[in-house]
Structure 1
Amino acid sequence: MTNDLHISVDETALRIDLAAAFRLAARFGWHESVGNHFSAALSADGRRFLMNPKWWHFATIRASDLQVLDANDPDVMTRADAPDPSAWCIHGNAHRRVPSAKVIVHCHPIAATTLSTLADPRLLPIDQNTARFFGRMVIDPECGGIADQEEEGIRIASMLAKAPTLLMANHGVTVTAQTVAEAFESLYFFEKAADTLLRAYATGRPLSIMSDEIATLTAEGWDAYRGASFAHFAYLKSVLDAEDPSYRD
């Protein structure tokens, strides 16, 4: 039996969804110049995956532009079309070592990144969106600089094995999920949650923080809304389709 998912994974549909995620991230202002990367596994073991090419702006990416990479390929960085070193470091190691992370979204949106710079970067449960991540995220307290070394990629992958959302100290955020829609929705809500917490901090007033019991109950309550991820993503794709469907090409 092969680990390859060519039969069960619709590569064309996956390419379209991932390309849409790039375009939408640019529209939401989550992109950073021509950096940051999203990837999606094509095989059950995560070894074969799609990722954006080196230094392509999110707003221009089409489904056909996405590269197929092999996480176990020792020569990938020697080729003319080699991916960005930091992208290969993070996504190559994560797909190789955390096969359950089918989709990996890494970027530096302003609120999440600002939160990551605080001495105490915890996402305190002060509303339903912040509580969504209670007990379901991990904070990496160490900043290894630009993540382009193998050891740093291994360390980051070990963190991603612990929880689907990783807030990276002095860096940004990485979200993993089973589908592009769910990864995008988690990123959407994490950025909203971080923004809410930062605005609450900015008032200088004491925070009303949920008890652990209520925060846990709220986080578990979000599970019933899994379908909303797909409905939201379908709507956002319909906006792209109406205004600029070139992401599908």
Structure 2
Amino acid sequence: MHNEAIAFPEAHAPARAELACAFRWAARLGLHETIANHFSLAVSEDGRRFLINPYGRHFSRIRARDLLLLDADDPSALERPDAPDITAWALHGALHRRHPRARCILHVHSKYATALACLADSRLPPIEQNAMRFFERVAIDEGFDGMGLGDEAERVSRQLGDKPILLMGNHGVLVAAPSVAQAFDDLYYFERACELYLTALATGRPLRIASDEVARKTARQWQDYPDFAQRHFAALQGILDEEEPDYRN
């Protein structure tokens, strides 16, 4: 795997470019923690071969060719000279093994989602359209047991279930989607929803919470909205193509 990633960086070029774009925009939007946190993208049908960011590279500098190509069943990845971050390997390897449907997995400790994850009640009530988008689509992990290594990585991978969002109590947020575009769109709007909710809470005034019926209806409308995530991400790539075209290299 190491030789393939070094000798043939052009392999999976479109996938590499999309994931690199997600890193650059996560940095631009302040969703990152410099060299911490991880994004991965499955490139094999079974989801076990995936691209992921190298250890120590700042999100704002990641290029397509920098991404490591790993095999979720090959622990020797940690012995290679350009070994990935140990928590990245453990957590994303476990997730890609367990959830082949989750082609793209984005994990960050973004400000507002993480703040929500620190509350005793980490539910996101349907107070506005962004929050309603995620109604009944968020799994909440209340069993944090240290950094995502070993048994903890396997435990977290089970918590995701069939939801696109895993709010990781005392930790951060994880988004799983069938494409980079969908994953990034979900990440952006979930963070935005958390920001709006916490801002509303800070007023100390009663919240106007929509009914379950209205929240479900709005969630369905979001999911049926034509090509929204793809158009959003295409716009982001277009901006980078003009301003930071090196992300594709």
Report if TM-score (shorter chain) is over 0.5.
yes
Give, in angstroms, the shift of residue 80 of structure 1.
2.2
Q: What pairs with 1:193-204 in structure 2 (closer than 5 Å)?
A: 193-204=193-204
Query: What is the number of equivalent residue pairs in this alignment?
Result: 239
Other-structure match for 2:62: 61
Give, in angstroms, the shift of residue 142 of structure 1.
1.7
Other-structure match for 2:177: 177
Other-structure match for 1:27: 28
**Counterpart-to-counterpart distance in 1, 2:187 and 2:30:** 12
Partner letter of residue 200 of structure 2?
A
CA deviation profile, 1:66-116 (whole Å, cap 9, x unmatched): 000000003222222221111111100000111110000000110111111
**Counterpart-to-counterpart distance in 1, 2:71 and 2:59:** 22
Say which SS state the counterpart of residue 175 (structure 1) adopts.
strand
Other-structure match for 2:91: 90
Q: What pairs with 1:100-119 in structure 2 (closer than 5 Å)?
A: 100-119=101-120
Other-structure match for 1:131: 132
CA deviation profile, 1:5-48 (whole Å, cap 9, x unmatched): xxxxx821110000000000000011102111000001111110
Say which SS state the counterpart of residue 75 (structure 1) adopts.
helix
Structure 1, gaps ≥5 residues long: 1-9
Shift of the 226–139 alpha-carbon distance from structure 1 to 2, 3 Å rule, reads farther
Say which SS state the counterpart of residue 101 (structure 1) adopts.
coil
Say which SS state the counterpart of residue 225 (structure 2) adopts.
helix
Say which SS state the counterpart of residue 38 (structure 1) adopts.
strand
Other-structure match for 1:99: 100
With structure 1 as the length reference, what TM-score do the two structures score?
A: 0.94
Shift of the 162–224 alpha-carbon distance from structure 1 to 2, 3 Å rule, reads closer
Structure 2, gaps ≥5 residues long: 1-10
CA deviation profile, 1:46-75 (whole Å, cap 9, x unmatched): 110000001210000000110000000032
Say which SS state the counterpart of residue 205 (structure 1) adopts.
coil
CA deviation profile, 1:172-211 (whole Å, cap 9, x unmatched): 1000111100000000000000000000100000111111
Say which SS state the counterpart of residue 136 (structure 2) adopts.
coil
Q: Which runs of 4+ in 1 moved over 2 A?
A: none
Give, in angstroms, the shift of residue 147 of structure 1.
1.2
**Counterpart-to-counterpart distance in 1, 2:226 and 2:91:** 27
Partner letter of residue 73 of structure 2?
N
1:160 aligns with 2:163: no
The more displaced of 232-241 and 22-31 is 232-241
Report % sequence identity: 51
Shift of the 175–226 alpha-carbon distance from structure 1 to 2, 3 Å rule, reads farther
Other-structure match for 2:148: 147
Say which SS state the counterpart of residue 166 (structure 2) adopts.
strand
Say which SS state the counterpart of residue 176 (structure 2) adopts.
strand
**Counterpart-to-counterpart distance in 2, 1:134 and 1:240:** 32
